[in-house]
Every structure is written in structure tokens, then in C-alpha cells.
Amino acid sequence: MSFPQKAEYIIIGAGIHGLSTALHLAQKLKSQGKGDGSKILIIEKGSIASGASGIACGVIRNNYFQPAMRELMAHSVEVWESDPENFHYHNCGYMQISPASMEEDVASIYEQQKDIGYESTFIQGEKEVDSYMKSMFSDWQAKGVTSVLHEKKGGYANNTSSIYGLATKAEAEGVRILTGTTVTGFEYGSNSKAVTGVETDKGLVKCDQVIIGAGPWIKSFWDMLDLPNEVSIKSNGTVHSNVPMWQYWYLTEGVLGVEPDFLKTDNGEMPPVIHVDTDAPLYSDVDKSLITDEVWGLYYKPDFHFNGVQGGSSPYKVGEPGGDGISVDPYGPESKEFIIDDKFAHMWSSALAFCHKRFEGKSHLFKKGATGGLGCFTPDSFPVFDQFRENVYVIADSNHGYKMLGVGKLVAEEVLGEKSALLEPFRLSRYEEGKLHPVSNSPFPWS
């Protein structure tokens, strides 16, 4: 397509958030008789699905200790279920398997899932958990777990295929997608607040509204908008000043090179996505040395897209232990190339063997998948969805992105003037006002 001079709505990023927002905004405009998708332009510096959405693990779950996250995820699961074929969505369910230290948290999740009508089963007791898991996997052998929350909805989707399916649906509504174009700045009106145009390496595009869904590159746009890189956070009556707005975590994921059906249940079915947290010591499957005696976790699933059993474990902050040899320019994470080191491969493969006897002696089959990499997190590791500079809507997903397909629908409604109760708990003002999300005992910062 020729370079556009103007678009009423410009969306930055052709990933899960940008495409979902474009699709639902186009549908909403049409239903209100206000036009169609031709008013919407997506600008993407690479190609469709070339960013974080295209390498996402693909897990879709409701399991969150935070009520606001849980309600938002229930909404997103409904959107995934609305078109499983085009979204390449597999409704296989999700299991959270936890130690005693997390049991109370997980029990509260179960009770609140019942309150919102989200179907799940909750098993408590070490023997009961062992029996429940062995009813599916006769070789189950994980220790130190006392509860299972088995969500019957959710599962996973194939990352790249789902994003292209979303793009096809958006383009069918008239949305234009301009790839290979880098946003370099913004033009402002006479009041220096509202954005009147988006500057790119190919020229200026005038606009009335901007929506940013840039995943881990959000900080670059935050800086372009001259928004604060430090915030004050009120917690338990104490105000913590000068807290960095952004922090980078490295996401550790990979693939075990077995056939995906290697993880089938005893009755021959594909299993749910499995997440295990435990405080039992983890020993090497290679030489029996101690890997860790602290709380640790992993998640895994069979996946034909990755051609193996794919998953990951707890992330680590860039520059902290576990990040040996990795340096990062925080202003340009896309410019760095990261390598999953032997330490993670050893840990994750051993963790699989900790859970299932069938994985013993398989560590040598580990391979790096097209997943993992950097995640850009907010101070509390939960999203910020908010309007800035009068007409710029920011979707800062804090690495919860891919599973949140329904956020685009809610953002589209907000852009058109309909405030969303589901997005309200995620405003930037929550930090200063002390309206924080509760913190769980999970070793994962996003749970």
C-alpha cells in the first residue's frame, strides 16, 4: 500500500494487543454507524507477529491470585473461545500444582473462580494430589505439592498462527497494516499535549488518536511521550518515592525434543497445560547434584507448533544471579540477542524428570525454542492500561500480553468513550493512590 498521510486511529504494534484492538475497534465503529476499519492504521516496525507475540509460549489461563487479573483473564478466555479455529486455540485446560505455602492462595483463587462462574476443580492434600495426578499420569512422581487447581477452560494457542489469524480478521474489516516502518516520535498540537501526528522513518502520519501496544518496547514510546520514568508507590501507609517505572526480566523457556504426544495421558488424550511450584529440593537428572532447595517452579505442555514438550521456569531480573554473561541496553532490548544457557536447560529438564518418570534421562534432548527473551515489567509486575497526553492510549502489558486477547476489545470500547470496569484497576494512578494488587507466594512475579 502507498504511504498514508492520515489515519483517524493509529495503532502501534502488530502483535496481540494492536491487532485485537484494531479488530474490535473496527467492529465497534461499524456497529455504531461511525465508519469501518479503513479509519484504522497499524504501524509495525517489523512484520506481523515479529515481536513478543510471535514467540509467546501461548499459555492461556485464568489462574491469578489477584481478583482483577482473574476477572480480566476470564473475559479474555471468552474471546479466545469465540473463534478457536482462526485463533488456533486449544481448549485443553490448565493445572496449577502447588506446595503448602501456596495452598491458601490457590484455595482463594478457586473460591473466586466459583463466584465468577469459571469452571475448575480443587484438590487438597498430598496423598489426594498424588492420586489425582496418577489418575492421568501413572508415572507422576512430583513431591512437595499439596494442592491442584484444575481449570477446565483455557489451554494454549499456537503463537504465530493465532496472530496471523487475528490480522486476517482485522484486514477483513478494512484495517490497514503498514509493516517495515519504525515510529521515531510524535507531533504535538499547539497545546503541546495532544498528539496530532506520528513520525516514522518514512514520513509523518497525521492522526486523531494513538494506541500503543508495543509489548517489551513500551519504554521507548513512554520516553517519546515524555512520561515519568519514576513513580511514587503508596503501600501500607508508607510512600516509596523514585521507584523505577520499568524493569526487565529475562524469560527462560525451551523445548524438549520428544514427540508432542510423549506427554499424553494414560487414556491417550492430550493433557492440560501443567504448572508446578514446589519447595521440595530439585536434584540434577544428570549427576544427582543439588540444583536448588528453595521454592521453584516450571510450566510445560505438548505443542506441535514447537514440535516437542515446551515450557519454562521462573524468570530473573536482568543483571541478577542467573543472568551471568548477559548485558542489556534497557533502551533497546530488541537490539540484543539472548541465549538460553546450560544452567536453565539443566534445571528445566531435571524439573520435568522430577514430575514424570518418562522424562528421566532425556536432558540431552533439550533445545532452545523460539520463545523466551526479555519482558518489560511495571513496578508491581502487573499491566498499566491508561490514557496519556489527552489522546494516547497505552497498553503496557507487563509481559501478561499474549493470553490477554480480550484487552483489545475493552480498549476499543474505552477509546470510543465507554469506560471499562475490568480495566479500571490497572490505571497508573493506582501506585500513588495505594490501590495495589495483592501479592501471592508464587515464585513467578506475574502470578
Q: pLDDT tens-digit profile of 388-401? A: 999 999 999 998 88
> For residue 14, what are the CA distances in angstroms to 23, 46, 68, 187?
11, 9, 26, 22
Q: How confident is the model at residue 338 (pLDDT cuts 50, 70, 90)?
A: very low
- All cell numbers assigned to 234: 503508596
Asked whether the predicted pLDDT for residue 97 surpasses 80, the reply is yes
> What rounded mean pLDDT belongs to the chain?
91
Do both 406 and 423 map to the same domain? yes
The stretch 431-439 carries a mean pLDDT of 92
Q: Quick one: three-class SS letters along 253-287? A: EEEECCCHHHHCCCCCCCCCEEEEEECCCEECCCC
Asked if residue 15 lies in contact with residue 213, where contact means CB atoms within 8 angstroms, the answer is yes
Q: Tens digit of pLDDT for each residue in 403-414?
A: 999 999 999 999
Residue 242 covered by a domain: no
Do both 217 and 170 map to the same domain? yes
Count of the separate structural domains present in the chain: 2
Residue 241 covered by a domain: no
Q: Minimum mean pLDDT among 49-53, 132-136, 138-142, 359-363: which range?
A: 49-53
Residue 188 covered by a domain: yes
Do both 251 and 329 map to the same domain? yes
The fraction of the chain above a pLDDT of 90, given in percent, is: 78
Do both 260 and 371 map to the same domain? yes
pTM passes above 0.85: yes
Backbone dihedral region of 23: left (phi > 0), alpha (psi from -120 to 50 degrees) or beta? Answer: alpha
Q: Which of 377, 406, 421 is the last residue of a domain?
A: 377
Residue 52: what pLDDT?
A: 85
Please report, to the nearest 10 degrees, the dihedral formed by the alpha carbons of residues 229, 383, 10, 370 taken in order.
Answer: 100
Domain of 12, CATH number, reads 3.50.50.60
Half-sphere exposure of 56 (CA within 13 A, CB side): 28
DSSP-based three-state secondary structure for 424: helix
Residue 84 covered by a domain: yes
Among 89, 87, 88, 91, smallest CA distance to 169 is for 87
Asked whether the predicted pLDDT for residue 319 surpasses 60, the reply is no
Residue 374: what pLDDT?
A: 78
Q: Which domain holds residue 62?
A: 1-90+154-236+381-447
The fraction of the chain above a pLDDT of 70, given in percent, is: 93
Q: Tens digit of pLDDT for each residue in 62-81?
A: 988 889 999 999 999 999 99
Q: Which of 329, 348, 377 is the last residue of a domain?
A: 377
Residue 56: what pLDDT?
A: 82
Do both 287 and 393 map to the same domain? no
Do both 372 and 223 map to the same domain? no
